[in-house]
Amino acid sequence: MFLKFTCIPRTLDFKFEAGTSRGVLTSRNTWWIKAEATSHPGRIGWGEAAPLVKLSVDAIPDFDVQIRQLLKDFEKIDFVTDQEAVLAQIQELVPVHLPAFRFGLEMAILDLIHGGKKRFFQNDFFEKGQAIPINGLIWMGDKEFMRSQIDSKIKKGFSCIKMKIGAIDFEEEMNLLRYIRSAYGAEDLVLRVDANGAFSPAEALGKLEKLASLAIHSIEQPIRAGQVAEMARLCQESPLPIALDEELIGVSDKSRLLDQIKPQHIILKPTLVGGFLETREWIGLAEERGIGWWMTSALESNIGLNAIAQLASSYQPTIPQGLGTGQLYHNNLSSPLLIAKGEIRYDGSIPWEEPS
């Protein structure tokens, strides 16, 4: 199967200033990948390559140049049409330093193989409209802004809230969490926090002990990635379950990392770890070791979010996933993805807006 590829860059604009401990986001760049087969005129597969600035290993100045050249080169490749075989073929073809591009190419070709309907493989999310529980994400900002987000998410029926911490005063963040807990106990509302590596190793354990007093479900990446010995110590001593996030980016020996750190959970972002195949490998290794996991989008447009939701659905998740970021942008593509009462679902009666 010989393919023709088109690359369409788009800047997505946030509806508000999205704060993290790494800075404030007002926009982000993404690249939509269009795949067409000469043997199936009119059928189109869509994918998305969306590296995150300051985080993805492929957030590099010449990303656009590199992927356009690769797409041109790949038009000479005879791609297979079996789902598993094509994933293996893409893994072999795409350099490891371009995980977001690998994910985008996987999406585009699998979509094409399955009829150009934005379906990537068998899953109840797309085929049966089965809803997936998700967490409500609270972005960093001043106290009033964060509190308004909390109130809004609870009113919308979320039973799990994830709050980003580490940018404002820690005691103010604790007060916000106490505010939530004063109204909703642990049996009523699951609370997760994400530090994005904001704590120093010296202060981390003390802060984790304070957070644990509020029945926090877990904390993502309390210290900066790459401090393996310190993270392993924290996972052993912390009264609060720790989830690795940034720690998984650019890792070649997955088993070794999990065996060294022994985390309670891992957070899987297919854009950052290299797509469907790599994510499935992480899940298999985690489950072998009794490590929990959930999937999270990485600020992709609705094209990428749809793909991640379908991948999550194939595992029949029962705990909330991090799949609510499609509502962040003024100029996202309209899509069949709907969020209500703390769940995301796919309504096939709603048409997609085609990328342009």
CATH of the domain at 282: 3.20.20.120
Query: How many residues are recorded in the chain?
Result: 356
Alpha-carbon distance 321 to 225, whole Å?
22
Q: Looking at the structure, tell me whether residues 134 and 92 fall in a common domain.
A: no
Does a structural domain hold residue 352? no
Q: Looking at the structure, tell me whether residues 30 and 89 fall in a common domain.
A: yes
Go through 61-70 and write b for each residue having 16 or more CB atoms within 10 A of its CB, e for each that does not. Answer: eebeebbbeb
Phi/psi region, residue 316 (left: phi>0; alpha: psi -120 to 50; beta: rest), is left
Q: Looking at the structure, tell me whether residues 194 and 263 fall in a common domain.
A: yes
Does a structural domain hold residue 351? no
Q: Looking at the structure, tell me whether residues 90 and 218 fall in a common domain.
A: no
Q: What's residue 167's pLDDT? A: 76
Catalytic residues: 164, 269
Owning domain of residue 57: 3-113
Q: Looking at the structure, tell me whether residues 29 and 148 fall in a common domain.
A: no
Q: Looking at the structure, tell me whether residues 24 and 152 fall in a common domain.
A: no
Q: Looking at the structure, tell me whether residues 139 and 103 fall in a common domain.
A: no
Does a structural domain hold residue 44? yes
Q: Looking at the structure, tell me whether residues 147 and 290 fall in a common domain.
A: yes
The total number of structural domains that make up the chain? 2
Return per-residue pLDDT of the chain as tens, 356 residues. 999 999 999 999 998 877 665 677 889 999 999 999 988 888 999 999 999 998 899 999 999 999 999 999 999 999 999 999 999 999 999 999 999 999 999 999 999 999 999 999 999 999 999 999 999 998 877 888 888 988 999 999 999 999 988 878 899 999 989 988 988 899 999 999 999 999 999 999 999 999 999 999 999 999 999 999 999 999 999 999 999 999 999 999 999 999 999 999 999 999 999 999 999 999 999 999 999 999 999 999 999 999 999 999 999 999 999 998 878 899 999 999 999 999 999 999 999 999 98
Are 73 and 247 a contacting pair, CB within 8 Å?
no
DSSP collapsed to 3 states, 308-354 = HHHHHHCCCCCCCEECCHHHCECCCCCCCEEEECCEEEECCCCCCCC
Q: What's residue 21's pLDDT? A: 57
Q: Among the three residues 62, 84, 113, which one is the final residue of a domain in this structure?
A: 113
CA R_g for the chain? 20
Does a structural domain hold residue 25? yes
Q: Looking at the structure, tell me whether residues 335 and 211 fall in a common domain.
A: yes
Does a structural domain hold residue 281? yes
CATH of the domain at 19: 3.30.390.10
- What is the pTM (predicted TM-score) of this model? 0.95
Q: What's residue 227's pLDDT? A: 98
Q: What's residue 246's pLDDT? A: 96
Q: What's residue 20's pLDDT? A: 65
Structure-block tokens of residue 329: 């942008």
Q: Among the three residues 113, 145, 161, which one is the final residue of a domain in this structure?
A: 113
Q: Among the three residues 113, 145, 165, which one is the final residue of a domain in this structure?
A: 113
Alpha-carbon distance 355 to 277, whole Å?
25
Alpha-carbon distance 108 to 337, whole Å?
18
Does a structural domain hold residue 141? yes
Does a structural domain hold residue 203? yes
Q: Which residue has the tokens 């029962």?
A: 318
Q: Looking at the structure, tell me whether residues 214 and 65 fall in a common domain.
A: no
Q: Looking at the structure, tell me whether residues 182 and 302 fall in a common domain.
A: yes
**292 Cβ contact list (under 8 Å, min separation 6):** 241, 243, 264, 265, 266, 286, 319
Question: Residue 38 to residues 47, 129, 191, 213, 264: CA-CA distances in angstroms?
Answer: 18, 32, 50, 60, 47
Q: Looking at the structure, tell me whether residues 187 and 277 fall in a common domain.
A: yes
Does a structural domain hold residue 270? yes
Are 300 and 308 a contacting pair, CB within 8 Å?
yes
Q: What's residue 96's pLDDT? A: 95
Alpha-carbon distance 317 to 60, whole Å?
34
